Amino acid sequence: MDTAWLDDIKWDDKGLVPVIAQDKESGRVLMFAYANREAVALTAAKGTAHYWTRSRQKLWHKGEESGHFQHVEAIQLDCDGDVLIYRITQEGGIACHTGRESCFFRTLIDGEWRIVDPVLKDPHAIYGHSH
């Protein structure tokens, strides 16, 4: 597969680009992460989301530990060329390592962060350890 299209992405000084994972049906933002060139190329080639984890400094195939793979229906590039959206179908309905549908489960209400989404599955049951 020709990967010249990767040259149109404006990578930051660490070779990363921000990626928003968005549910293709509901439009809800499920998570945010970074990807390097290899991760984006793998996502396009394999059809499942790949990222670069800054905390672990390695390539990350979303779902490799949890089984909650993200099936990528489209990869979109913003007008400035520096942010991607992966339009996805979330396997298992859980994108967050806390066991929730979305990583964006806290909402500012009356000056405090309130948890507005339930835990769908205990993270210990997903990962077998504290994550």
Q: How many residues comprise the chain?
A: 131
Q: What is the pTM of this model?
A: 0.93
Task: Give the start-to-end residue ranges of the domains of the chain.
Answer: 4-127
pLDDT tens per residue, range 10-64: 999 999 999 999 999 999 999 999 999 999 999 999 999 999 999 999 999 999 9
Measured in degrees and rounded to the nearest 5, phi and psi for residue 91 equal -65, 135
pLDDT tens per residue, range 68-113: 999 999 999 999 999 999 999 999 999 999 999 999 999 999 999 9
Q: What dotted CATH number matches 4-127? A: 3.10.20.810
Asked if 114 contacts 105 with a C-beta cutoff of 8 angstroms, the reply is: no
